Structure 1
Amino acid sequence: MDRLSAVIRTRALDLLSDGNGADADLEDGSIFFVGNATVIVRYAGFTILTDPSFLHEGDHAHVGYGLRTERQTDPAIDIDELPPIDFVLLSHMHGDHFGRVAEEGLDTDLPIVTTPHAAAELSEKGFRETYPLETWETLTVRKGDVRLDVTSTPARHGSRLVSKAMPPVMGSMLEFHVGETTALRLYVTGDTVMYDSLAEIAERYPDIDIALLHLGGAKVLGLQVTMDERQGTEAIELFDPTTAIPIHYDDYGVLRSSLEELQEAIREAGLDDRVEYVDRGDTARFEVPSGRL
């Protein structure tokens, strides 16, 4: 193990409980869909922001190599309407996941958990609390009596060849622990296509409660770099979550696989009862399965 990995494996982040620790609601939680891959997860006293994209319709995001993609929608809220955030979970550094609005509007002391590549870029932009994770490394975040393990999981932004020209991506497994009990397991795929290494996620985590799926069949120069409707159904079958929530499917021009195509594929696969569709500005509410706590 190199020195950097040794440091990462032992890192922990302790958050102020601000009165929520002992009194946090452990039975119920919520996921508010802002748009694209941006959601606000609230559970057990934590408030977590993912992939903060707050560009508006008509704005352009940089996706590398001089390429841009136009936003087709408005976010459900603006960045100045965010609630107090404990930390940001960033799957990778692309303009449609962390753009100029986030760069200018987020507190540079806000903790950001992300890839080493993105952490280095964020540091150059003045963000002081970055927590880089290599694949399968875990950051332990504590708030009050709850321990949250954030583990970086495999993800690949396109085929093996295409991904070499794209920024490194991570999926994330969030495990909320109360004492010795794992109360909730939430998985975020990150921008990935289906490939062999994802099978290890299902093997390590056979009991996923909620999966947030980055879909949309994004294409760059005609090459697919995120899951489309067919791969989305394969992902649900592979990870077997209690509830799958599709996100990242129609907010930018590079996203070519529509929600309607996904819904049809889900119906044909007989997976309707496993999927919850959440519109921008709406909230998916969940309960921890009885007997967990």
Structure 2
Amino acid sequence: MPDVELALVGGPTVVIGYAGLTLLTDPTFDPPGVYGNLTKLTGPAFGPEHIGHVHAVLLSHDEHEDNLDHAGRALLEGAGHVLTTPGASSRLPGAVGLKPWHSITLYGAHAPVCVTAVPAQHGPTEMRDLLAEVTGFVVRAAGWPTLYFSGDNSEVDVAAAVAHHFPDVDIVLQCAGAARVARLDNALLTADAARTLAIADLWPAATVVPVHVDDWAHFSEPRVAFRRAVEGDPARERIVLLERGAAVRVPRAWSAPAHA
């Protein structure tokens, strides 16, 4: 089975080399600064000009600056496909809105690639009316590892529904960092380390790649704290924390190239 190439731009933004396609999650390329009610601490490891043509953007949601910023919006215009939520598709010209469990097939150099939208929940159930519509994605192609990008999902039971439908996931790109904002009572808006470990247990043989743990002030469990929190857990051996800017080939969990 071929390896998948991942390169972390920063935040939730990852370049994915998959079956001859270049995929990009939640594009954020703006410099540090204050954006709305959020503060960005660190700029991207590299800009869009270093990526080349993006065949498809996997956009979990468009309503928060830490998942789609000004430079990210500009990138959408040149992307082959922009896959996102139904609501976002009404705001972003040319974007394709996928309801949960609906799929689209992309055609790369090596094999047809099926991208399926899957449920995600950006915070506690009681706050649903205050939070953005969010989606995750599962990416599959014959002969290639199955990849799950969680989007800003904070709930283990939502990830469990994905695992029920797709028990064969080999690589989990999990938005972590334990995002909290004061105006929402500091509720957990993305997974913390404990929930990331619980999600890892849903796919006991998968490599787990936490993303969206750095770069923003509202993340209460950044990289150093995350490492400390997962130390000693059996799933620790399957967790790969990407270094910003470096491309890593990620195979199946039992031969993972690096550790958190």
TM-score between both structures, scaled by the size of structure 2: 0.89
Q: Secondary structure at the match of 2:49?
A: helix
Corresponding residue for residue 248 of structure 2: 284
Partner of 1:73: 42
Note if contact 2:21-2:109 (Cα within 8 Å) is conserved in structure 1.
Answer: no
CA RMSD of aligned residues (A): 1.9
Shift of 1:268: 2.8
Q: Per the alignment, do residues 143 and 250 of structure 1 end up closer, same or farther by CA in structure 2, a change over 3 Å counting?
A: closer
Counting only pairs closer than 5 Å after superposition, residues 50-65 of structure 1 correspond to structure 2 as 50-57=25-32, 59-62=33-36
Q: Which amino acid aligns with 1:61?
A: Y
Q: AA paired with 1:224?
A: L
Aligned-pair CA distance for 1:265: 2.5
**Given that residues 121 and 158 in structure 2 are in contact (C-alpha distance below 8 angstroms), is that contact kept between their aligned partners in structure 1?**
no
Tell me whether 1:84 sits opposite 2:45 in the alignment.
no
Alignment of 1:135-214 (within 5 A): 135-144=100-109, 146-177=111-142, 182-214=143-175
Which structure has the larger Rg? 1
Letter matched to residue 122 of structure 1: L
1:273 aligned residue: 237
Please point out which of 231, 248, 258 is paired with 2:212.
Answer: 248
Alpha-carbon distance in structure 1 between the residues aligned to 2:123 and 2:178 = 10
1:118 pairs, out of 88, 91, 98, with 88
TM-superposition CA deviations, 1:15-74 (whole Å, max 9, x none): xxxxxxxxxxx73331011000101101221111110000112x2233xxxxx2111111
Unaligned 5+ runs, structure 2: 254-260
- Partner of 1:17 in structure 2? none
Separation in 2 of the partners of 1:283 and 1:144? Answer: 20
- Partner residue in 2 for 1:11: none
Partner letter of residue 202 of structure 2? L
Deviation at 1:260, TM superposition (A): 2.1
Unmatched tracts of structure 1, length 5 or more: 1-25, 63-67
Say which is worse superposed, 210-219 or 91-100, in terms of deviation: 91-100
Matching of residue 47 in structure 1 with residue 17 in structure 2: no
Equivalent residue pairs, number: 249
- Cα distance between partner residues in 2 of 1:189 and 1:229: 14
Q: Look up the equivalent residue of 2:180 and give its one-letter code.
A: K
One-letter amino acid matched to 2:172: A
Distance 1:145 1:277, change over 3 A: closer
**For residues 219-275 of structure 1, what are the alpha-carbon distances to aligned partners after superposition, in whole Å with 9 as ceiling and x for unaligned?**
122222111111111111123352111110121111111222222222232222111
- In the superposition, the TM-score normalised over structure 1's length comes to 0.79
Deviation at 1:286, TM superposition (A): 2.7
Deviations 1:187-237 (A, max 9, x none): 111101124232221122222111111001001222221111111111111
- 1:250–1:256 Cα contact (<8 Å) kept: no
Q: Structure 1 vs Structure 2: percent identity of aligned residues?
A: 28
Larger mean CA deviation between 33-42 and 218-227 belongs to 218-227
Letter of the aligned partner of 1:55 in structure 2? D
Which stretch of structure 1 is more off in the superposition, 198-207 or 91-100? 198-207
Contact 1:88 1:112 in 2 (8 A): yes
Deviation at 1:108, TM superposition (A): 5.0
> Which residue of the partner structure matches residue 35 of structure 1?
10
Q: Distance in 2 between matches of 1:83 and 1:35?
A: 17
